[in-house]
């Protein structure tokens, strides 16, 4: 029986997945010397996680053109080799001395293997365009071990791929081929509806799938860290995850405030790592898992956390723009009895419903200067943390169903990336997050006056003045 503490090591280094892949490779290739093959495989282990993508799209003019641009954008973001059928055939024609351009499936697969070897595709990863184009080629790919980690089918709803024309026969051939591809590579299949989407939007959807691996049947204890600036919903998400998955809720910010109150901030900072390591190695965290908010704050914090035996296996960044953050920061109030923080609009709704009373509310302290200083500090460290995480993190945009979105990332497969110290460059997705989060040049205008509804504005004024009579103009005066 494997103990919970040992499970952390197996999961951190992906030992289960490694042995599963070794067995799969042995069954597929059936080498005469299995031990020598295993030794060779382990030497090439760092190439196991590189993306191997099969990109499929119907014979539609726009989709066929977009498919090429999408493939090039994916290659640019992930560093994989783009392999187009036409390029493989063109290389074949240049090498021939006769005028015979005929090529059957067997010849083409031989040429494909040579092309992939010449381009270093097994080390860099690959994305195939118009390959395979027949059921026989698909079978030969499987027999030769050319197996995709992601099979992405770009599709439109029925009836949106053009009217019935002379291309009906081609479309029928494609539909038959698409069905065969979906069946043969169903375990790596993901269909993407491209209706009404631009090339960049399609690329983002594809990248989001490529950066995630299929769930693997291995033991799993969630160890989650929620990263975001104040006002991004960290408290809400951490509380929801703790209740939903029975995780230990580790509030680093609260711990720092408590320690700073009893001693001073400098001493609290010096002992923070020691306290956190002790907390995360408690039996409750080891057996049930944890969700931590407020930490890591810098890349150095991240590296230290990864060096412990309880390194997080789910890193989730909460993405929201500065105007949204500042609006949430200013438009908040405090429930005295519970200590809960809620938006003024939500407080208005609860006052109207009678589930909350005015005397239970107080204005949430809002120091704009301190908030701005903390946000600038967060932005300064954000890009370093994203560079360190690379593709091993998940990014969730603030909005409706935030907790449900984060929960989905927690229970789904971990991102298809190696250990974090190996990552040096951010993905296209993490780049876009950094751009969105950086402080805008005109932030002074944003900070002047956050927009509020009339009812929320009246509530704010009432809280400021502590004058209950101001509520007479509101619809919820009976609730007070």
pLDDT tens digit string along 393-414?
788 877 777 888 888 888 776 5
pLDDT at residue 416 above 80?
no
Fold of 52-95+104-158+168-211: Rossmann fold (3.40.50)
Degrees, nearest 5: CA angle 81-387-432: 75
pLDDT tens digit string along 360-382?
777 666 666 777 788 888 888 88
User: What predicted TM-score, i.e. pTM, was given to this entire model?
Assistant: 0.61
**CATH numeric code, 223-462:** 3.40.50.300
Residue 82: its pLDDT value, please?
Answer: 92
Q: For the chain, what are the domain ranges? A: 1-49, 52-95+104-158+168-211, 223-462
CATH architecture type of domain 1-49:
Up-down Bundle (1.20)
| Same fold: 52-95+104-158+168-211 with 223-462 | yes
CA-wise closest residue to 188 among 130, 217, 142, 147? 147
Residue 323: its pLDDT value, please?
Answer: 74
Q: State the pLDDT confidence band at 341, using cuts at 50, 70 and 90.
A: confident
| Pair 413, 214: CB distance under 8 Å | yes
Between residues 262 and 162, the one the model is more confident about: 262
pLDDT at residue 476 above 50?
no
Q: State the pLDDT confidence band at 352, using cuts at 50, 70 and 90.
A: confident
pLDDT at residue 38 above 60?
yes
Query: Rounded distance, CA 445 to CA 301, Å?
Result: 33
CA 336 to chain centre: 36
């Amino acid at each position: 029986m494997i103990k919970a503490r040992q499970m952390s090591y197996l999961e951190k280094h992906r030992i289960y997945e490694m042995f599963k892949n070794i067995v799969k490779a042995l069954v597929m290739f059936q080498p005469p010397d299995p031990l020598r093959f295993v030794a060779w495989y382990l030497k090439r282990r760092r190439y196991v996680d590189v993306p191997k993508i099969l990109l499929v799209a119907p014979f539609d003019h726009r989709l066929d053109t977009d498919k090429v641009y999408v493939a090039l954008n994916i290659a640019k973001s992930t560093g994989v080799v783009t392999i187009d059928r036409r390029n493989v055939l063109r290389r074949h024609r240049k090498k021939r001395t006769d005028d015979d351009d005929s090529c059957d499936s067997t010849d083409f697969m031989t040429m494909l293997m040579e092309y992939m070897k010449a381009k270093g595709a097994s080390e860099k990863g690959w994305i195939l365009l118009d390959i395979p184009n027949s059921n026989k080629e698909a079978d030969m790919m499987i027999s030769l071990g050319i197996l995709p980690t992601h099979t992405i089918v770009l599709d439109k709803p029925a009836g949106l791929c053009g009217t019935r024309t002379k291309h009906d026969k081609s479309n029928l051939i494609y539909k038959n081929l698409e069905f065969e591809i979906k069946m043969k590579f169903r375990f790596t299949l993901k269909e993407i509806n491209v209706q009404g989407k631009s090339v960049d939007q399609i690329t983002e959807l594809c990248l989001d799938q490529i950066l995630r691996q299929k769930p693997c049947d291995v033991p799993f204890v969630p160890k989650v860290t929620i990263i975001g600036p104040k006002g991004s919903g960290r408290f809400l998400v951490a509380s929801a995850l703790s209740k939903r998955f029975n995780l230990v809720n580790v509030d680093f910010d609260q711990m720092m405030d408590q320690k700073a109150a009893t001693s001073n901030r400098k001493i609290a900072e010096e002992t923070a790592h020691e306290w956190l390591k002790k907390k995360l190695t408690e039996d409750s965290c080891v057996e049930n898992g944890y969700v931590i908010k407020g930490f890591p704050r810098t890349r150095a914090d991240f590296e230290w956390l990864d060096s412990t035996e309880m390194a997080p296996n789910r890193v989730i960044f909460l993405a929201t723009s500065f105007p949204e953050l500042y609006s949430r920061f200013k438009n908040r109030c405090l429930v005295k009895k519970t200590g809960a923080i809620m938006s003024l609009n939500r407080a208005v709704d609860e006052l109207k419903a009678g589930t909350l009373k005015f005397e239970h509310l107080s204005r949430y302290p809002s120091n704009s200067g301190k908030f701005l200083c903390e946000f600038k500090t967060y932005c300064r460290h954000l890009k370093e943390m994203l560079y360190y995480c690379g593709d091993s993190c998940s990014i969730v945009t603030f909005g409706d169903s935030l907790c449900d979105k984060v929960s989905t990332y927690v229970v789904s497969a971990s991102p298809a990336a190696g250990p974090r110290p190996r990552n040096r460059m951010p993905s296209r997705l993490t780049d876009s997050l950094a751009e969105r989060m950086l402080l805008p040049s005109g932030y002074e205008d944003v900070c002047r006056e956050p927009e509020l509804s009339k009812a929320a504005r009246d509530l704010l004024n009432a809280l400021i003045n502590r004058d209950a009579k101001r509520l007479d103009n509101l619809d919820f005066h009976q609730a007070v």
